[in-house]
Chains A and B, each alone.
Chain A
Amino acid sequence: MNVSHLGQADPLAQRLAVLRGPAPQRSLDARAIAALAANPGCRRRAVLDAVGVDKAAVARRLGRPAPFGQSPFAIARGNIFERRLKENGYAALLEPLRRRLGLPADSDTPLAVPDLLATAGPAVRAERTRQALAEAAADQAGWTLLDHPMLRLEVAGSPAYLEPDAVLVHGGRCTVVEIKSFPILDGSADPAKVGAAARQAAVYVLALQELAAALAGQPVSTSPYATAELPGSPEPGVLLVCPKDFSNRPTSAVVDVRRELATTRRQLAQLTRIDQLLGILPPGTSFDLAPDEAGSPTRPADELAGAVEHLPAAYRPDCLSTCELGFHCRSQARCSDSLDQLGPGVRGELGGLETVTAALAAAEGRPVPGGPGEGAERLAYAAALRAQALGGGVSR
């Protein structure tokens, strides 16, 4: 796993660099991988993420910037919470850890917190994490906290570097610790947020499984429900640490990520390999924004839009809240009259109909491409019922 020369020799990396232009590569993080796995059918997103372009900058240049951002208040509070967790030798973090994982209540057994070279480059940090995990796993009796370790995972043929908040090692096994700023209120938390955290943590668990397998020189088990017993293997339960109720005090819950792990593993294996996806791009394609000295992009928006256009998107309305290009893809879906603009549920109801125009034609009993199917018939019947009901005289 010699990461350092990937950049020069690998033809795929070279190709990606050309597509990206001189801009620095955006590395895939666990959140991005989890999001990628949430809409794996989208080739546009898969390629742009693999290339490592700044999708937010692309969206801005295309005229439909992503509305994402984080309030300074939220950032400040998140930082306070995380800092508080680590004060006094991780005292606030250890309290929930102790309770959940059976860490000794007194501090007779010291907690080792090895230096993981936080300021080094990702490849160096990943190598250091690998060493630290191997050492910690070999010490059956000790307790080790890996604070912001760096893990490497191959995603669709290109490397991604992942940085969990913390990993706790004891008894030859490790546990992923995920710190979140949403509260656990009366023992429950927003299921959508916990779900997202679980999917993100599953990516870390997967990376740790591969790392443990690599350390042992063994292949990774492919059964979705197998738990590896190798030294350093991750537990399938991750520790979610959140503020308790309305306070700033930490509390924790164990989240079983076996399902998310199985899903993520299969999903990553299925992600079409990037080199195949790149095959659909005509030669000369580039996503380079060509920024001027002040950093403003000079690449003509039309040209950029053309390059993006070569990559088929799988738009659905929830992209608006998960992908920087959501607004761009929505406007394209609207321009092309696609039913995708109304969401996947609508597609399911209308069978083979592809466009709004075709669906409305079917509703009016006019001929539609592909001939009248049951979908068209039902739609025409629905239209008749609707007209009858509204004929009762609604004022508009």
Chain B
Amino acid sequence: MSLLSTLARLEAVRSGRAEPLATVRHRHLAERPMVLVPLAAAGEAGAPLAVMYGTDRAAPRLDFVPQPLNRAQRFEFLARFAAELLPYLEQFGSEVEQVEASEKDAETGEKTQVFRELCVDAPQLIVPNPGAVRHLALLGRSTRFRRTAEDPDPGQYPAPTQVPLFGRWLTHLTERAQVPGASLLLPMTGLLARHWATGQSHLEDQHLAAQLAWHRRPAPLTGAEAAERAESARDERGQLLHPPAGPATDPAFDELVLAPAIARHDAAQTALATATGGQERAELLLKAATEQLAAALESVLLPTWHDVWQGIDLLRALPPAAHLADRWESDRWSYTGHRDRLAAGEPPQPKQDDAVTAARKLAQREREQTRVEVQEALDDPLAMAEYRLAGEAFSGVVEEVTPDYDTSGRSPKPRPLVTVRTADRPHADAGREVHRVGGPTAQRAVIVAGDLAAGTVTVRVVSGMGRKKEPEPGSLPEPGEAVTFTLFELAPRQSAPLPEPEETPWTHGGPPGGGAASPEEEWE
């Protein structure tokens, strides 16, 4: 944690409410995001229990597995869920724009102009917390290899065609969620924590309602009191007044509410199956039992549903950061790429990345990490303040601009000196390269001298002044102008090329063996 966010937390402890950590919104928010609150059945990996989802806050949809231990019911649930969600995920695939790019011919090395399709928008899923992302990843893993009736060998338990397709989407979205700054799938706790500090620890911020309590705290409670109430207040039956945001449910709910409701549902189902006469009554009883179960699950899902939407309201109140469209375009590329892979009939994502794919993903994440950090700093003075505090950037007012020239070459080049008065204490070792923020063009300079006691740093500008002997008018800051220089580059470096997977070298086990595309799965 940085000192600035610590300071914001301290302020939140004092004020009893969340304090800002950003002046702009740093993540893309769709006009109509798909909010999704999944619950998992306890004791089993990736076993779905229920889900509440939708793009209309007034009309959440609820679906659930009546008997979570029953695998047939589980796949019926997943088939319904897939049928509902796939249209939303796929609808963005139809409207595209043509983007011009240059492609290098592999043989001749010549560059040619090509047009590539880019979907103009992409889906956005918002879930309560990182646990929900992990749960969706498990659902993706457990469904994308499922054999369907269309397979040559459908196996004993063929799944509806949509199930493995849905699994591949879930896998793509949850993988993409690992990329820094990506916004196709976002956990609300993380979104809130990026933009506001609460007066509690990161660990406690993982609880969505507790984090939100610092925003809404009903008078006369402080944020801490409201958060504790959200975490632990129970009714006379021992049930939490504000159920956890999942995917795990409260054990007391499982024991006292869910288990009896499931037992009643099971009994009603058995009664219907074995009924010899009185069919109608048995059906009514089953319907009642199903409704009871639905009501129980709805009661623990609705509070979180509203919490996520309230979080969205809070975020919408912040103005969008300048670079959001740029990063959302990367998300659109990611979405378009997956659409194209599905259309090309490629097999599902493997269980494990091969060496080259893993290295490529790591390179992408590192590149995007740098990009999002830099862009946030450029978009938000509060983010830039982190770097100023760390000595990685300095802001101040230009005190003096002294013309100077590099006469070592054939024609003299402008190399003016700019002295900045600043209260910041950058690691201003002579010779370090700095980059000007917000100039008319990208501009590099080199630190000539830093007198931190006097509060001045002098840099020699070495680029961004045009090609003539004198700097282009307006290319240099004027005395009295506010400037910021960073000690880090303002654009991420390109990642080094990696071999193709089929050229994996001997040090990494050689090319990955084929055949593992459709692994046998244990289902029982």
Partner of B254, one of A73, A247, A378: A73
Q: In the complex the two chains form, is A392's CB within 8 Å of B23's CB?
A: yes
Among B44, B249, B521, max chain A CB count under 10 A is at: B44
With A182-B45, A341-B13, A342-B9 as contacts: A69 and B20 at CB distance below 8 Å: no
Give the docked Cα–Cα distance between A125 and B495 (Å): 62
Q: Select the stretch in B198-206, B291-299, B432-440 that faces chain A.
A: B198-206
Chain B residues bordering chain A, tally (CB within 8 A): 57
Q: Select the stretch in B331-339, B382-390, B408-416 that faces chain A.
A: B382-390
Q: What number of residue pairs across chains A and B have CB atoms under 8 A from each other? A: 153
Q: In the complex the two chains form, is B524's CB within 8 Å of A381's CB?
A: no
Q: In the complex the two chains form, is B9's CB within 8 Å of A346's CB?
A: yes
Is there a chain A Cβ closer than 8 Å to B4's Cβ? Answer: yes
Q: In the complex the two chains form, is B385's CB within 8 Å of A389's CB?
A: yes
Q: In the complex the two chains form, is B201's CB within 8 Å of A341's CB?
A: yes
Quote the shortest CB–CB distance from B415 to chain A (angstroms). Answer: 31
Residues of chain A from 238 to 272 with CB closer than 8 A to chain B in the complex? 243-249
Q: Mark B429-460, 1 if CB is under 8 A from A, else 0.
A: 00000000000000000000000000000000
Is there a chain A Cβ closer than 8 Å to B41's Cβ? Answer: yes
Give the docked Cα–Cα distance between A379 and B389 (Å): 10
- Shortest Cβ distance from B252 into A: residue: A69
Q: In the complex the two chains form, is A183's CB within 8 Å of B45's CB?
A: yes
Quote the shortest CB–CB distance from A168 to chain B (angstroms). Answer: 25
Q: In the complex the two chains form, is B7's CB within 8 Å of A72's CB?
A: no
Partner of A388, one of B224, B254, B385: B385
With A342-B6, A360-B11, A396-B20 as contacts: A185 and B45 at CB distance below 8 Å: yes
Q: In the complex the two chains form, is A386's CB within 8 Å of B141's CB?
A: no
- Size category, A interface: 35 or more
Q: In the complex the two chains form, is A77's CB within 8 Å of B43's CB?
A: yes
Q: Mark B26-47, 1 if CB is under 8 A from A, else 0.
A: 0000000000000001111111
Q: In the complex the two chains form, is A390's CB within 8 Å of B203's CB?
A: no
Q: In the complex the two chains form, is A247's CB within 8 Å of B224's CB?
A: no
Q: In the complex the two chains form, is B6's CB within 8 Å of A73's CB?
A: no
Q: In the complex the two chains form, is B14's CB within 8 Å of A245's CB?
A: no
Partner of B200, one of A64, A247, A342, A359: A342
With A246-B45, A360-B14 as contacts: A389 and B521 at CB distance below 8 Å: no
Partner of B46, one of A69, A244, A246, A321: A246
Is there a chain A Cβ closer than 8 Å to B58's Cβ? Answer: no
- Shortest Cβ distance from A248 into B: residue: B524
- Shortest Cβ distance from A245 into B: residue: B522
Q: What chain B residues lie within 8 Å of A183 (beta carbons)?
A: 45
Is there a chain A Cβ closer than 8 Å to B251's Cβ? Answer: yes
Q: What chain A residues lie within 8 Å of B231 (beta carbons)?
A: 67
Q: In the complex the two chains form, is A381's CB within 8 Å of B389's CB?
A: yes
Residues of chain A from 169 to 213 with CB closer than 8 A to chain B in the complex? 181-183, 185-187
Q: In the complex the two chains form, is B23's CB within 8 Å of A359's CB?
A: no
With A69-B251, A360-B10 as contacts: A378 and B42 at CB distance below 8 Å: no
Residues of chain B from 227 to 268 with CB closer than 8 A to chain A in the complex? 228, 231-232, 249-252, 254-255, 259
Q: In the complex the two chains form, is B385's CB within 8 Å of A385's CB?
A: yes
Q: What chain B residues lie within 8 Å of A381 (beta carbons)?
A: 389
- Shortest Cβ distance from A375 into B: residue: B3
With A67-B231, A246-B521 as contacts: A320 and B141 at CB distance below 8 Å: no
What are 14 A-B pairs with beta-carbon distances under 8 A? Answer: A64-B232, A72-B254, A74-B251, A183-B45, A185-B141, A247-B523, A247-B524, A342-B6, A343-B1, A343-B201, A349-B6, A383-B7, A385-B385, A388-B381
Residue positions of B touching A, CB distance < 8 A: 1, 3-4, 6-11, 13-14, 20, 23, 41-47, 68-69, 138, 141-142, 199-204, 224, 228, 231-232, 249-252, 254-255, 259, 317, 351-352, 380-382, 384-385, 388-389, 423, 521-524
Residue positions of A touching B, CB distance < 8 A: 64-65, 67-78, 181-183, 185-187, 243-249, 317-318, 320-321, 327, 331, 334, 341-343, 345-346, 349-350, 356, 359-360, 363, 378-379, 381-386, 388-390, 392, 394-396
Closest 4 pairs between A and B when the two form their complex, measured CB to CB? A74-B43, A247-B522, A71-B42, A69-B251
Given A185-B45, A385-B4, A389-B382; 15 other pairs, CB 8 A cutoff: A67-B231, A69-B250, A69-B252, A183-B45, A247-B521, A249-B524, A320-B203, A343-B203, A383-B7, A384-B423, A385-B388, A386-B385, A388-B381, A392-B23, A396-B20
